[in-house]
Amino acid sequence: MFNNPYRYLVIALLSVLTFISTILCEVYYYFHIEISWYYALLTISCITFLIWEGNRIIEPLVQKAFSRSNKIRFLICFFLAGSLVTIVSVTLVVYFVGNILHSRELSQNINPLKLNIIYGGLANLFFHLLNTIHFYFNEFRLRHAEAEELRRNNEQAQLQLVKSQINPHFLFNNLNVLSGMVIKDNPEANHFIEEFCKVYRYILNNQEKELVDLNKELDFIEPYLFLLKTRFNGGLQVHIDIPDRYRSMYIVPAALQMLIENAIKHNIVSNSRPLRLTIHANASEEIFVSNNLQVRTDAGPGSKTGLANIIKRYALISSKDVVISNTGLEFKVTLPLLMIN
């Protein structure tokens, strides 16, 4: 607030209003202070200016000493620092007007000093009340903007989730596999259709949910992996190691499926060069999805939309971060496992 471009206009208006109030209330008469009106206006204006500008100068210093993340502590310390600035400013102005301009004794400045310290203290308090209102109003606007952005991101993530799961390529690839089975009169065709239906049933039932329990997600991954293994034969090797104690925890819907799909999209999957996927959990209540890197030259740089959406969806519901690491030999994504109170 103290950096407001109209601050000098505010200082001038407050000084004039204070001066008029002082004259109308005969404050100088009650304090037995003899002073010309122009010196009185000069005193009030100088004190108001020094208090405001002093607070403006010390604000970044207080910010460095006390983090703005602790809002109440920052505001209190800023007010106390402003009070010190007020006392120093008032003392200097009263000494200048009384001793330099009027050649008074120091004892004659006691009442003017008391009066102006009262005014300076009230002015400083008023400024900091305005600053606190301004501070929390900006915080409210920031939080509202963040909430709105997260809402839009959530909608985009949900849309992308549906697109990435029920997309023509996924449908086309699996229908091709199914078509080959039917043409060959393969008895596994019925099994393939059943697993295919399980995948879409899960997607339709859970795509609007914020969280699903890990056990349900793993149950969904089984038919999904069956479809992929049928498509790639021995080109895809998956190892899942999730202790039972973690299976009651929660994860965002279809996150594992999106990570598996991302690995297949960007890596070579063949019998001669199998893609090895590992899904496991650790004592830190995190689940890891990792794969060996054998990047496809025809995959392009990739938009990383799926990973970005998983990160955004976690940001909506948790302060825990999604961690992505790439060693050059292995690509790994770490997802937090969550508890619902």
pLDDT digits (tens, 9 = 90+) for 79-106: 888 889 888 888 888 877 766 666 666 6
Residue in 280, 277, 281, 279 with CA at minimum distance from that of residue 264 = 277
Minimal CA–CA distance to 83: which of 53, 55, 116, 114?
55
Q: Is 254 helix (H, G, I), strand (E, B) or coil?
A: coil
Mean pLDDT value across the chain: 80
pLDDT (average), residues 191-213: 77
The DSSP symbol for 235 reads: G
Does the pLDDT of residue 267 top 50, yes or no?
Answer: yes
What per-residue confidence (pLDDT) applies to 114? 81
Q: How far apart are CA 161 and CA 211, in angstroms?
A: 14
At which residue do the structure tokens 């039972």 appear? 244
- How much is the average pLDDT of 245-255? 90
d(CA 7, CA 59): 15
Range with the poorest average pLDDT among 45-54, 183-192, 216-225 = 183-192
Burial track 270-293 (b if 16+ CB lie within 10 A, e otherwise): eeeebbebbbebeeeebbbbbbbb
Which of 123-127, 158-162, 268-272 has the highest mean predicted lDDT (pLDDT)? Answer: 268-272
**pLDDT-derived band at 273, boundaries 50, 70, 90:** very high
Judged by average pLDDT, the poorest of 98-102, 122-126, 254-258, 292-296 is 98-102
Quick one: pLDDT at residue 66?
A: 72
Predicted confidence band of residue 275 (pLDDT cuts 50, 70, 90)? very high
Give the start-end residues of each E strand in the chain: 212-213, 236-241, 250-251, 275-282, 286-292, 323-326, 330-336
List pLDDT tens digits, range 40-90: 788 888 888 888 888 888 888 888 877 656 778 888 888 888 889 888 888
Q: Is the pLDDT of residue 166 over 50?
A: no
Going from N- to C-terminal start, the domains of the chain cover: 7-154, 166-336
Query: In this model, does residue 253 exceed pLDDT 80?
Result: yes
Residues linked to residue 276 through DSSP beta bridges, in sequence order: 237
Map tokens 């915080």 to a residue: 139
What 8-state DSSP symbol labels residue 295? Answer: B
Q: What is the 3-state secondary structure (H, E, C) of 159-212?
A: HHHHHHHCCHHHHHHHHHHHHHHHHCCCCCHHHHHHHHHHHHHHHHHHCCCCCE
Supply the pLDDT for residue 101.
65
Residue 55 token pair: 């607070």
Look up residue 161 and give its two tokens.
């989730």
Compute the average pLDDT of residues 186-207.
Answer: 73
In this predicted structure, the answer to whether residue 263 has a pLDDT above a threshold of 70 is yes
> Residue 299: its pLDDT value, please?
60
Tens digit of each residue's pLDDT (9 = 90 or more) over 137-160: 888 888 888 888 877 776 666 655
Q: Which of the residue ranges 27-36, 189-198, 207-216, 231-240 has the most confident prediction, judged by mean pLDDT? A: 231-240
Average pLDDT of the residues in 6-26: 81
Q: Which of 328, 331, 327, 323 is nearest to 287 (CA)?
A: 323
Residues 289 and 332: beta-carbon distance below 8 Å:
yes
Tell me the sheet residues that pair with 275.
236
CB-CB neighbours of 96 under 10 Å: 14
Residues 195 and 229: their CA atoms lie apart, in Å, by 12
Please give the Cα distance from 210 to 325 (Å, whole number).
25
Identify the residue with better confidence: 38 or 87.
87
* Residue 190 CB-density burial (10 A; 0-12 exposed, 13-18 middle, 19+ buried): exposed
Output the CA–CA distances (angstroms, integers) from residue 191 to 72, 227, 230, 332, in the order listed.
63, 10, 11, 32
The pLDDT score that the predictor gives to residue 111 is 76
Coil/strand/helix, residue 338: strand
* pLDDT, tens digit (0-9, with 9 covering 90-100), for 277-314: 999 999 889 999 999 999 988 765 555 667 888 888 88
- Overall average pLDDT of the 176-193 stretch: 63
pTM, two decimal places: 0.50
Q: Give the pLDDT of residue 269.
A: 93
Question: Which helix H or strand E contains 12, and what residues bound it?
Answer: helix 7-24
Least confident of 71-80, 88-97, 172-181, 258-267: 172-181
Report the candidate in 57, 60, 62 with the shortest Cα–Cα distance to residue 79: 62
**In CATH, which of 3.40.640.10, 3.30.565.10, 3.40.50.1980, 3.90.1150.10 is domain 166-336?**
3.30.565.10
Chain CA centroid to CA 69, Å: 12
Look up residue 114 and give its two tokens: 């008391």
